[in-house]
Amino acid sequence: MTRLQLLKIVNIILALSFFAVSIPGIIQFVTQGAIPYSTFRAVHPIAGTVFTLAGFTHIALNFKWIKINFFKKKKK
């Protein structure tokens, strides 16, 4: 599997886990109980962990691009 293929998969996982964390969190905050707390408590930490791991993987796969664009050597 190439880096680009892996990055496409990681990006999808990153997006889905972002929505799995944020949407129930927003619904729970706004409605104060539309989602049973036991369900929220089961899903939210798992989705958060997946989101964090996918985020770190995304950064690792794009680190060369990050170095080129953000850590440029300044010319004198």
Residue 76 has pLDDT above 70, yes or no: no
The answer to whether residues 27 and 35 touch, using CB atoms and an 8 Å cutoff, is: yes
Share of the chain above pLDDT 70, in %: 97
Q: pTM of the full predicted structure?
A: 0.78
If pLDDT is split at 50, 70 and 90, which confidence band does 33 have?
confident
Rounded to 5 degrees, φ, ψ at 45 are -65, -35
In the chain, where the domains are located = 3-70
Residue 32, sorted as left (phi over 0), alpha (psi -120 to 50) or beta, turns out to be left
